[in-house]
Structure 1
Amino acid sequence: MKHLIEKRNDSLARIEEILALVEAEQRPMTEEEMAEIEALKTEVEEINKQKEVVESTRNLKPVKEENKKDEVKEIMERNLEVRAQEERAFIEALQEGNTRSLGSANKAIIPNTIADRIIEKVVELSDVISHAEVVRYTGDYTIVCESEGTQGADYFNGNFAELVSEVTTEVLGGHTIGGVEKISNDTINSTTIDVVEYVVNKIARKIAEKVEKEILDGTEGKIKGLSKVTNKIEVTGEVTPETLIDMQNQMRGAKPSECMFVVNRATFGALRKAKDATGRFYMENSMGIDGELVSSMFGSRVVVSDVTTRPVAYIAKGAVTVKFAQELNIQILKELYATQNCIGVLGSISVDACANSNDKVVIATTAPLMRARK
């Protein structure tokens, strides 16, 4: 600011000099003198404004990084405390054999932090669910289902054909899915086992298996899953590598890297043995980040599902919407396995799912490869 103050003082001194000269000569100011004074006044006013801005800015104090860290730390500590309280209440409910600590003597809502962990685990356990669009919503949830095709365009005459788009809506409601898990009393009362994590994994696995099956096979009048998809390929006999190529050609709006083949165990076995004319296997295998074997064919992952009856479905990322309710219910069945020193834990949640794009799912319809033994 020192240079600005000096410049302002020089301007004021020059104004005084002009005024003194005019006064001494007892004459009016010339046009040049008046113009120079106006310019000097403008300059002084601008410097004064800059001085005010600088002084007001100096009064602003930066937020200390320590304060931000303290706030984040406080929020994290509160969240951890809530999680610890809910885990204690959950363990207490298991140990006592009832859900009074969760709000009811017979049936109660699983605490939010534990419910969130169960859903996260469900998504983690199933490649099919993690490939879908997953939403948490209580009540009816409306999604837009779109199927697109292009008529073409007359570029030379400037007449562009409109995109043919059949848009419908689908309401995802709620259908209860769950299952009973048998848990040893010794496990529940153990001080060396993470009881909450153990129960979370057990309940999540049961839910994941059921939801995955409903997505792939669907149930008439309940969860539709892929059962209403009309984008199909008719296959005679076994599913072959050529079948997968045909399915890829029928997929619209998604790259092979964004899609995956979901096959049953019998189809996977047949595809894994398939070789080209040079004797090379069509299926490629690599090691995933988690150390598990990752299979792929023609640029798309090949995932095995042990719960589906479909030989193969080709699904683009996010082409299926799965809606989980916000709340999970739990019921302690104390007497069911009492003679085995165990309790039954019934976990249930409201779920619905369906394809949200008919173009981004391709189904191969054929008789299952595996025949029932006589």
Structure 2
Amino acid sequence: MEAIIVAGGLGTRLRPLTVTTPKHLLPVAGTALVAHQLAKLAEAGVARVVLATSYHADQFEPELGDGRTWGVELSYVTERELLGTGGAIRNAAAHLESAADDPVVILNGDILSGHSLEAQLRHHETASADVTLHLVEVPDARAYGCVPTHDGRVTAFLEKSPDPVSRQINAGCYVFRRSVVDDIPAGRVVSVERETFPCLVAAGALVLGHLDQRYWIDVGTPAALCRASADVVRGVAHSAAFRGVPGEAFVAPDATLAAGASAYGGSSLGAGVTVAAMAVVDGSVVASGATIGEGALVVDSVVGPGAKVGAGVVLREAVIGDQAVVGDGCELVAGARVWPGHQLAPGAVRFSPDV
């Protein structure tokens, strides 16, 4: 069985982390986000995966190799121009070996899900469906397009609305009949959500919704990245790609947590990270090679590769880009972001009146 992972997006909501790195390679519990998807596919019996890349495409293969680490055969295809979700899928189809009636799994590359892909595949094959979508039900669907169904059959794909008719939303994992992939127009921008799926429904194709309420998150913002990583570290979300033991923190084998320092709340400390004495890291992602200074407090924040956070710094819901320097005594809160390579002088930024 084969799969395509759509991994060409720019990740603008995750900047400055994605200025230098595609969002699909950002660390989640010490492992690239997309690696969790590769491991999930392998668990479901997928043998070959085509990774559809575009933005910073040259970084994927050095990081992921041939896929054997996660139990799949991995190949790469690059869009020279962004083609949308449907266009990316069609562009990758040339690398598939499946027959026309075979199932092909399609994943959005920024999703972390605990749903049963095996059950979704059985649902699809038992019904001889053209497409089967993983759906989740959310408390408030106004921020999403909704996907109403009748007796399991998708009846419409509706844009965001102040009064959605359903709380079911598209969860970004599909099983396609291979021939349906080949019917997507080639060489142009195509959205599966706005064009492919609505056209299939209008034409009477069998498009099914597979509702599964297990763990699901769209890893599209720094807050979501922290949450997803913490959930994997703590064992709230299962991933076969996680190399640690579920608990309060993941600390890479060559990371250093000094005496008196602490990491908890599902924090992840990547390779070569150094956390100095009396520093606290809570619910945060600290990427490889970063340094956290003495007495610093890092809460619900992301610290990029090679960044330096000085002594006594306070970070709350902050994002520090690659190789950036936050000088001693700075206080960055409520979504503050420092771009890669920039330096803040000691005490230069404060969000409280004390000195």
Normalising TM by the smaller chain, what interval? under 0.3
Compute the TM-score of the two structures, normalised by the length of structure 2. 0.21
User: Of the two, which has the highest radius of gyration?
Assistant: 1
Larger RCO (CA under 8 A, 6+ residues apart): 1
- Structure with the higher helix share, 1 or 2: 1
